[in-house]
């Protein structure tokens, strides 16, 4: 230690830390003795043994749902060209990465039916916040209308995003059918946000009513989507959406909720107000096809007053995983996964109704659905955990004794049957 202090030119440890106020100094850290690499690995393994995988403890949580990811996806994103790359400021040295980003944008545009997509936001919550600010820049109005029944973390992020712009977030209640009421009258509305499927998992197919509402309010329409549902349901472009957002979980294992990317697409006329980055295809000096960063409207690249967003990065590696997943499955593969997920969810809903659960809404849902039972969702989940099952999401604030289940292609009928059997035991105890 003496040698280190001499090298940096200080006499003692006290002198090294003399700039720190006395009241925040500590005597030292209570650290255990050092261990060898093998000892550390053994200790970590012991800690990891406490974890339960989806196959050890099947989970029926919504939003954070398991999907099968082909091993080839991990092989692709693990290549050093992708895994270690950063924002491609030098296009001549980053053509592979830029093309991959361009193809990701193309896939998102095709899925959503929109004209253009950026190279992602962080997640759907930040995408919603950015969409609200984008609507404000376009319409110069102070209100964004959202359904009362959206995931609470989205509301929190949205309110934080729009606070600086002085915008007001207005919540609209849902009908007895579980869908957002559209017959409201309001002034100074920049945009209306609709989720499809919505928080209760219900499919929104009132296209004529949505169009009428949009024209009546003269507001932008922001649609939040589940990307997988777009493989079998109408894209938001079919009901005149202006901005489309969502969580891009394709190819990304949702370990403790992530990692994710935020889908963001819009109409071509609004591209100059879109946040984030856009990769474009062009021609180089030799007449060959080339790719470049076409729009970079964040404050690092242009004058702060002209920037559309201060979002600092994109989820590039997650975008590569998204693209690899879609490319490997293709259109028909995506449809099969979507249909299997929906079929499994409807199968579980039917089984739960047979043991006494009620469905407060109709059966027009994708792969998430709400049921209510004789006990609260929290009480049910506590009992299920003891039986090796992770239940759904309790939503008592919306539905009495309500619980929101999420099901995908990974939930086999045998797994569902076992879970329903355990649920029956739990409610009869």
β-bridge mates for residue 370, sequence order: 404
C-beta separation of 414 from 71 below 8 A: no
Going by pLDDT thresholds of 50, 70 and 90, the confidence category of residue 81 is confident
- Pairing relation of β-strands 289-296 and 220-226? unpaired
Going by pLDDT thresholds of 50, 70 and 90, the confidence category of residue 258 is confident
Give me the mean pLDDT over the 338-349 stretch: 98
C-beta separation of 263 from 104 below 8 A: no
48 domain-assigned: no
Residue 247: half-sphere exposure toward Cβ, Cα within 13 Å: 19
> What's the N-to-C CA distance of the chain in angstroms?
64
The mean predicted confidence, pLDDT, of the chain is: 93
**DSSP conformational letter for 231:** G
pLDDT in tens, 368-396: 999 999 999 999 999 999 999 999 999 99
| Residue that has been written with the tokens 């989820």 in this structure | 315
The three-point CA angle 365-370-371 to 5° equals: 130
C-beta separation of 192 from 214 below 8 A: yes
180 domain-assigned: yes
Cα–chain center distance at 230: 15
CATH number of residue 239's parent domain:
3.40.640.10
Going by pLDDT thresholds of 50, 70 and 90, the confidence category of residue 84 is confident
The pLDDT score that the predictor gives to residue 309 is 74
Nearest Cα residue to 127 out of 165, 164, 158: 158
Alpha-carbon span 278 to 282, nearest angstrom: 13
The pLDDT score that the predictor gives to residue 314 is 61
Q: What is the pTM of this model?
A: 0.89
190 domain-assigned: yes
Alpha-carbon span 199 to 365, nearest angstrom: 10
Q: Residue 72 above 60 pLDDT?
A: yes
38 domain-assigned: no
Alpha-carbon span 225 to 223, nearest angstrom: 6
Q: Angle of helix 124-139 relative to helix 152-163, nearest 10 degrees?
A: 40
Q: What is the largest CA-CA distance in the chain?
A: 78
81 domain-assigned: yes
| Cα dihedral value 289, 292, 295, 296, nearest 10 | 170
pLDDT in tens, 91-141: 778 899 999 999 999 999 999 999 999 999 999 999 999 999 999 999 999
Alpha-carbon span 5 to 13, nearest angstrom: 8
pLDDT in tens, 345-358: 999 999 999 999 99
- The total of other beta-carbon atoms located within 10 Å of residue 409's CB is 20
C-beta separation of 254 from 65 below 8 A: yes
Alpha-carbon span 381 to 92, nearest angstrom: 54
CA distances from residue 184 to 198, 217, 222, 405 in whole angstroms, order as listed: 18, 9, 17, 30
Going by pLDDT thresholds of 50, 70 and 90, the confidence category of residue 318 is very high
56 domain-assigned: no
pLDDT in tens, 280-313: 999 998 999 999 888 876 555 566 666 677 676 6
Query: Which residues form the domain of 293?
Result: 71-326
Nearest Cα residue to 345 out of 371, 373, 325: 371
Q: Residue 329 above 90 pLDDT?
A: yes
**DSSP conformational letter for 201:** S
Alpha-carbon span 426 to 429, nearest angstrom: 5
Per cent of the chain over pLDDT 70 is 96
Going by pLDDT thresholds of 50, 70 and 90, the confidence category of residue 404 is very high
Alpha-carbon span 223 to 173, nearest angstrom: 17
Give me the mean pLDDT over the 157-174 stretch: 96
Give me the mean pLDDT over the 69-81 stretch: 94
Number of domain units in the chain: 1
239 domain-assigned: yes
- The total of other beta-carbon atoms located within 10 Å of residue 323's CB is 25
Give me the mean pLDDT over the 9-13 stretch: 91
Give me the mean pLDDT over the 254-283 stretch: 90
The pLDDT score that the predictor gives to residue 94 is 87
Q: Residue 330 above 70 pLDDT?
A: yes
- Cis previous bond, 403, omega within 30: no
Assign 167 to helix, strand or coil: coil
The pLDDT score that the predictor gives to residue 48 is 93
Alpha-carbon span 135 to 132, nearest angstrom: 5
State whether the Cα torsion 116-119-121-122 is positive or negative: positive
Q: Residue 342 above 80 pLDDT?
A: yes
13 compared with 331, residue with greater pLDDT = 331
Q: Give the 3-state secondary structure percentages of the chain, helix then strand then coil, rounded to 5.
A: 40, 20, 40
Nearest Cα residue to 313 out of 100, 52, 142, 85: 85
Give me the mean pLDDT over the 178-193 stretch: 96
403 domain-assigned: no
The pLDDT score that the predictor gives to residue 297 is 61
């Amino acid at each position: 230690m003496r040698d280190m202090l001499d090298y940096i030119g200080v006499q003692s440890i006290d002198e090294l830390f003399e700039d720190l106020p006395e009241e925040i100094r500590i005597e030292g850290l209570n650290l255990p003795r050092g261990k060898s690499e093998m000892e550390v690995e053994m200790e970590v393994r012991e800690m990891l043994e406490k974890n339960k995988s989806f196959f050890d403890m099947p989970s029926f949580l919504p939003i954070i749902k398991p999907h099968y990811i082909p091993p080839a996806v991990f092989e692709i994103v693990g290549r050093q060209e992708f895994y270690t790359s950063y924002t491609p400021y030098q296009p001549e040295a980053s053509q592979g990465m830029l093309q991959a980003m361009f193809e990701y944008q193309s896939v998102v545009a095709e899925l959503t039916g929109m004209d253009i997509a950026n190279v992602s936001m962080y997640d759907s919550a930040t995408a919603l916040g950015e969409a609200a600010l984008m609507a404000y820049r376009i319409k110069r109005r102070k209100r964004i209308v959202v359904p009362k029944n959206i995931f609470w973390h989205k509301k929190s992020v949205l309110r934080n995003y729009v606070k600086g712009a002085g915008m007001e977030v207005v919540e609209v209640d849902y009908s007895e059918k579980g869908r957002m009421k559209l017959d409201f009258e309001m002034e100074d509305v920049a945009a209306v946000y609709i989720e499809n499927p919505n928080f209760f998992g219900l499919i929104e197919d009132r296209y004529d009513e949505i169009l009428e509402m949009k024209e009546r309010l003269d507001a932008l329409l922001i649609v939040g989507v589940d990307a997988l549902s777009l493989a079998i349901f109408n894209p938001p472009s079919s009901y005149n959406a202006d901005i489309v957002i969502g969580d891009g979980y394709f190819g990304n294992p949702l370990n403790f909720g992530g990692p994710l990317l935020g889908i963001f697409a819009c109409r071509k006329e609004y591209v100059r107000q879109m946040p984030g980055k856009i990769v474009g295809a062009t021609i180089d000096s030799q007449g060959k096809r080339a790719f470049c960063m076409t729009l970079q409207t964040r404050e690092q690249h242009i004058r702060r007053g002209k920037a559309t967003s201060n979002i600092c990065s994109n989820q590039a590696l997650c975008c590569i995983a998204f693209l690899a997943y879609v490319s490997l499955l293709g259109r028909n593969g995506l449809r099969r996964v979507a249909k299997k997920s929906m079929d499994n969810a409807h199968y579980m809903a039917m089984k739960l109704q047979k043991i006494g659960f009620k469905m407060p809404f109709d059966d027009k849902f994708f792969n998430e659905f709400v049921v209510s039972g004789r006990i609260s969702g929290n009480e049910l989940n506590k009992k299920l955990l003891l039986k090796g099952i992770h239940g759904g999401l309790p939503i008592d604030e919306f539905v009495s004794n309500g619980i929101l289940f999420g099901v995908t292609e990974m939930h086999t009928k045998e797994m569902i049957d076992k879970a329903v059997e355990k649920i029956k035991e739990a409610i009869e105890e």
